[in-house]
Structure 1
């Protein structure tokens, strides 16, 4: 079985609106369509997505298949606090995963403790099928680290496009 972890397409970022409520930017549709036609995703798979609008909308553009929505696949929770130095804040979050990187953000350990079991439940149920999960870069970085036994690869996180896919043999 192969696990395909898809990072959502580029969202419409709105200061003052929580990231969990952002929609997929209509200007990003072509990028999502390009991923769909790239051959990087399986023709047949079990599909699931985070409940965040940008992820659901990405999944809807990527497949005509039924897509389940799993609340525990959401990104690490961040308040509506806008940060201009997002990559640096994420690096701080990984350096101190037990603490919020900024006030109002979920510690990464809490995100990991929610997302990784959700992914493992999907893999347990769909053990013989390819699986596509549409979600978020930080959450997928934590999942890949857990499934491979390696430390989170922040260089890979930083290189993830929107959208992008990471493939893991599970």
Structure 2
């Protein structure tokens, strides 16, 4: 086992938005595919040894492109999904959506947005990440997931405010942390 393992937390590529469907069912848009290709180019200098993703189509597709281009093994894993909010409508107004996310982060133990509190989402995602990293004991892992859960994990481990981190992390943005400390190494906000 290497002395210092790396975990790359990646926000999926831009999805093809279908307002009538829950966001968890959205696939990658053409732009999301292009972003995933650019992400693979960036990773040639930061080569992980394993690619893992959430089960959501947009994350799986991002992970598959990354693994294929880098000729790395790929596996989807459970419980890496976005904070659960299927009971919420699609928000065409970005400011309204951001206000909901801000409330979600500001009151982590209260159910303010969706079916899962920020504390619950953090606990689920953190446990899932630990399980992945335990499964790939010697690997540097590129893990494709979702903005709010990535922001929760990284901000809590590093004493940061989650909302600015979430807002800054664009599609196919990458946060590199040391494992197992989750100490922040670098943030690449967007591709």
TM-score between the two structures when normalised by the length of structure 1: 0.89
Aligned 8 A contact 1:4 1:41 in 2: no
**Is 1:82 aligned to 2:90, yes or no?**
yes
5+ residue gaps, structure 1, are: none
Name the residue aligned to 1:154: 163
Aligned 8 A contact 1:144 1:152 in 2: no
Instruction: State the 1:74 CA deviation.
Output: 0.4
**Is 1:92 aligned to 2:109, yes or no?**
no
User: Paired residues, what number?
Assistant: 168
Name the residue aligned to 1:72: 79
Instruction: State the 1:41 CA deviation.
Output: 6.4
Name the residue aligned to 1:138: 148
The runs of at least 4 aligned residues of structure 1 exceeding 6 Å deviation read none
Name the residue aligned to 1:43: 47
- Return the structure number with greater relative CO, CA threshold 8 A, min gap 6: 1
TM-aligned CA distance change 1:70 to 1:39, over 3 Å: closer
TM-score between the two structures when normalised by the length of structure 2: 0.80
Deviating more after overlay: 54-63 vs 25-34: 25-34
TM-aligned CA distance change 1:140 to 1:37, over 3 Å: same
Instruction: State the 1:98 CA deviation.
Output: 1.9
Instruction: State the 1:110 CA deviation.
Output: 1.4
Name the residue aligned to 2:182: none
TM-aligned CA distance change 1:41 to 1:162, over 3 Å: farther
5+ residue gaps, structure 2, are: 180-191
Name the residue aligned to 2:124: 114
